Amino acid sequence: MGKAIAIDGPSASGKSSVSKGVAAALGFIYVDSGALYRGVTWQAIRKGVDTKNAAAVVESMHNAEWDFFVQEGAAVFSVDGDVPVQELREKDVREAVADVAAVPEVRRFVVENLQSLENFGSLVMEGRDIGTVVFPDSPYKFYLDADPEERAMRRYRELVAAGEDEKAHEVMDSLKKRDQIDATRKADPLKVAPGAQVIDSTSMGLDEVIQSVIDVVKGAL
């Protein structure tokens, strides 16, 4: 069985960038668990399912055909034969995903599939509940954090760079709303896992954060 490095934290705390950097340095498979919650959301939206209707979302999720594989060092999934990537970042998905991810049956489905990825090898998995629920026994758990203003600014810069016409205060509002839903939902809320190392990256560069994770993991190996 492979190892699993768990990287949790709120939106724009640096989970994706840090996890990809750590996975590349250690030769582990990178897994974006949020992509699967976004995938469940996306397949519902494209079938015209109301994402506020939990039962309908769950039904369309179970009726879809899911497949998992590894491509260029990252775990990827297909749903009904399509591999959504850019689609998962679109606004309609972004706005509905926290509601979909709050449905217990959606979480059960996603968590089981994430756990089974260990069959592919050692993983670096980023998310909200990786250290608390998906791999609670992993000795390698990290909780990344940064001040909300800094996180909103990071997201804003990304959206502007991608040519999206967003306003800074709207990004801030949407980030705070999502933080709130993620931290207060009944099913697996975002919290620091027991034994997790907390890294506040408000004034840290990306490379610095990546190196400090690698140092901890190498020290423990």
Residues that bind ligand CDP (CB under 6 A): 9, 11-17, 33-34, 37-38, 97-98, 101, 127-130, 154, 158, 178, 182, 201, 204-206, 209
Which CB atom, from 155 or from 221, has the smaller least distance to ligand CDP? 155
In angstroms, what is the minimal distance from the CB of 159 to ligand CDP? 10
Alpha-carbon distance 91 to 194, whole Å?
A: 34
**Torsion angles phi and psi, residue 47, rounded to 5:** -95, 5
- Extended beta strands in 2-55, E state: 4-8, 29-32
**Locus of tokens 């991810």:** 101
Which CB atom, from 59 or from 95, has the smaller least distance to ligand CDP? 95
Which CB atom, from 34 or from 84, has the smaller least distance to ligand CDP? 34
Which DSSP symbol is given to 193?
P
In angstroms, what is the minimal distance from the CB of 122 to ligand CDP? 19
Which CB atom, from 62 or from 157, has the smaller least distance to ligand CDP? 157
The H or E element containing residue 141 is strand 140-145
Which CB atom, from 183 or from 221, has the smaller least distance to ligand CDP? 183
β-bridge pairing 66-71 and 74-79: antiparallel
**Locus of tokens 């309609």:** 92
In angstroms, what is the minimal distance from the CB of 1 to ligand CDP? 20
Which CB atom, from 30 or from 37, has the smaller least distance to ligand CDP? 37
Q: In what order do the strands lie in the sheet with 74-79?
A: 66-71, 74-79, 29-32, 123-127, 4-8, 140-145, 197-200
In angstroms, what is the minimal distance from the CB of 103 to ligand CDP? 10
Which DSSP symbol is given to 214?
H
In angstroms, what is the minimal distance from the CB of 80 to ligand CDP? 20
The separation between CA 176 and the C-alpha centre of its own chain, rounded to angstroms, equals 17
- Pull the structure tokens for residue 29: 């498979």
In angstroms, what is the minimal distance from the CB of 11 to ligand CDP? 4
